[in-house]
A and B are shown apart, each in its own frame.
Chain A
């Protein structure tokens, strides 16, 4: 529908070029070209099955594992196509972290959950490791709640805390780009609010890309919004403009709640 949607004057962190995805021949994403601005929060919205999660999972190649998936087009990061041959997936995912819809802490202590990444990727141990863990937990706004029980199981935390633990776990690997796949949809309103505040805070330092089915949430937390429908990118722009003055009737209908 839209050939290339880039915004002027904004540094780009990651970019998809004519990205198409199909599952067992059934198209899920059709030639999406989209540039994600650096150090800002971008929201991806759209009705169920529109391809927004598929798009997100293409950005760190988490779709590779799904049987029957076919991906064409490019995803550019640091001037390289992450779908090129011999791309180092570990390096890609170190740079592009991900948080899932349902919190998925590992069945180990809070400390170990956060320490696992930096220990395996950077060989940190002892004091240095503790510092990184504390820093990540602080950035995820969880430190004050767990600092006295770091040895406790990550599964003993509440749902909202578990999700922040997953965010800390991701931050400890020192990524630049954060992918969040409906990070609040399994949480209660208070936990949701905390995560939203956290996303706004993280957006100052990181490039954050959030998939959400909650329009108000997108409006509250994002600087930029992409609207997808039937696997196509319909609208893309600054959040205020997309919500208040959309260029396409489909966007207008969706935002006014006429379908979806």
Chain B
């Protein structure tokens, strides 16, 4: 134990503090500049990217471009079949991945902490969510296209994209459910609700905005990826797909990312302005989805304000 007296405690507290204050203020200014600068740089980069694509693509963008099929051997006309294909892929993926993803998220959130198997599952799902999309594409080719003999088709594309989306939906659902205050769960149980009723009536509605946001963001990522559908669902262009029916499921579909990749690889066939136009269309599609996610989030936040 140290011994001290009144006199050893005598110090000029104010000047000591002033020296520290000076250092602190300098450091604060430095870090503010640093982080602010990096933030600004990132924002500028993103905006520059969008601005360049908008600048190049905007002249092409027209009602006709969005609603007409390509003409004259892909060298003119619009990209409607690609938009339709992307929307079809997205719709089916949404319908398949949503229940699976929510179910998985509920499982992990409800049983996750106690069981070792569930902890292992969580780690696996997290790893899957970080797996490169091309791996899903090859897996889809091996299993759905070849093994299950679905062929390169919309159906195989749905299944592959579903696999691609489910892990991230599981993780966001789990995270959203973990934000449900324990007091609400206790309240439900104290009313005599079963665990399932508490989950269904109280926890899920509370977590819904977070879950929906996760689903939309995941779909937005999926719709922009070329590689999962590269070998499983894509066709550059076909004239035989003007009608929608059951047979559509077994046929390949044109889609925006694949069109971009292929179109760019065949210089001289597809004029550059069409590529830029399709690029802008794809970006607008994903931006629209993200805007929807933000809207849902802010609206329900307000409603659920504690």
Complex: how many Å from CA A28 to CA B123?
Answer: 36
Q: Which A-chain residue is minimally distant from B194 (CB atoms)?
A: A90
Instruction: Give the CA-CA distance A67 to B190 in the complex, in Å.
Output: 18
Q: Which residue of A lies closest to B181 (CB)?
A: A104
Interface segment out of the listed A72-80, A114-122, A124-132: A114-122
> Does B306 sit within 8 A of A, measured CB to CB?
yes
- Given contact pairs A90-B192, A116-B201, A104 touches B304 in the complex (Cβ within 8 A): no
Task: Kindly provide the distance from the CB of B209 to the nearest chain A CB, expressed in whole angstroms.
Answer: 11
Does B205 lie within 8 Å of A93, measured CB to CB? no
CB neighbours (8 Å) of B186 from chain A are 62, 100, 104
Most chain A CB neighbours (cut-off 10 Å) among B184, B193, B194, B202: B193
Q: Which of B114, B192, B305, B306 contacts A93 (CB 8 A)?
A: B192
A-B contacts counted at CB < 8 A amount to: 63
Does the CB pair A120–B197 fall under 8 Å? yes
Which residues of chain A come closer than 8 Å to B183, judged between CB atoms?
A: 100, 102, 104
B303 contacts chain A at the CB level, 8 A cutoff: yes
Q: Which of A3-11, A165-173, A192-200, A237-245 contacts B (4 or more CB under 8 A)?
A: A165-173
Q: Which residues of B contact A116 (CB under 8 A)?
A: 191, 193, 201
Decide if the interface of chain B is mainly helix, strand, loop or mixed. helix
Flag if B197 contacts A62 (CB, 8 Å): no
Contact A153 B303 (CB under 8 A): yes
B191 close to A155 (CB less than 8 A)? no
How many angstroms from the CA of A104 to the CA of B234 in the assembled complex? Answer: 51
B184 pairs with A117, CB closer than 8 A: no
A189 at the interface (CB under 8 A from B): no
Q: Is B206 an interface residue (CB 8 A)?
A: yes
Is the beta-carbon distance between A106 and B188 smaller than 8 angstroms? Answer: yes
Give A41-66 as 1s and 0s: 1 = Cβ < 8 Å from B's Cβ atoms.
00000000000000000001010010
* Chain B hits for A60, CB < 8 A: 190
- Do A107 and B190 touch across chains, with their CB atoms under 8 A apart? no
Contact B188 A107 (CB under 8 A): no
Q: In the assembly, what is the distance between CA of A174 and CA of B193, in Å?
A: 14
Cβ-defined contact, A173 with B191, below 8 A: yes
A residues in contact with B194, CB < 8 Å: 90
Evaluate contact between A94 and B189: CB separation under 8 angstroms.
no
Is B187 located at the chain interface by the 8 A CB criterion? Answer: yes
A107–B188 Cα distance when bound, in Å, is 12
Q: Are B192 and A155 in contact (CB under 8 A)?
A: no
Across the interface, name the chain A residue whose C-beta is closest to B193: A120
What's the Cα separation between A11 and B111 when bound, in Å? 43
Report the bound CA distance from A120 to B186 in whole Å.
Answer: 17
Q: Is the CB of B187 within 8 A of A100?
A: yes
Bound CA span A44–B86, Å: 65
Q: For the complex, give the distance between the alpha carbons of A6 and B179 in Å.
A: 44
Q: Which residues of A contact B193 (CB under 8 A)?
A: 90, 116-117, 120
Mark each residue of chain A from 101 to 117: 1 if its CB lies under 8 Å from any CB of chain B, else 0.
01011111000000011
Of residues 197 through 212 on chain B, the ones whose CB sits less than 8 Å from some CB of chain A are 197, 201-202, 205-206
CB-CB contacts below 8 Å: A140-176 with B:
153, 155, 166, 169-170, 173
> What sequence of 0s and 1s flags, for each residue 202-237 of chain A, a beta carbon within 8 Å of any chain B beta carbon?
000000000000000000000000000000000000
Ordered by A's residue number, 5 sampled pairs between the chains whose C-beta atoms are within 8 Å are: A89-B192, A93-B189, A100-B190, A104-B184, A170-B190
- Contact surface of A with B, Cβ cutoff 8 Å: 60, 62, 65, 67, 89-94, 97-98, 100, 102, 104-108, 116-117, 120-121, 153, 155, 166, 169-170, 173
Besides the known contacts A97-B190, A105-B187, 14 further A-B residue pairs in the complex with CB atoms under 8 A apart: A65-B189, A93-B190, A93-B191, A100-B186, A102-B183, A104-B181, A104-B184, A106-B187, A107-B304, A108-B205, A116-B191, A116-B193, A117-B191, A173-B191
- Which 3 A-B pairs give the minimum distances between C-beta atoms? A93-B192, A98-B190, A104-B183
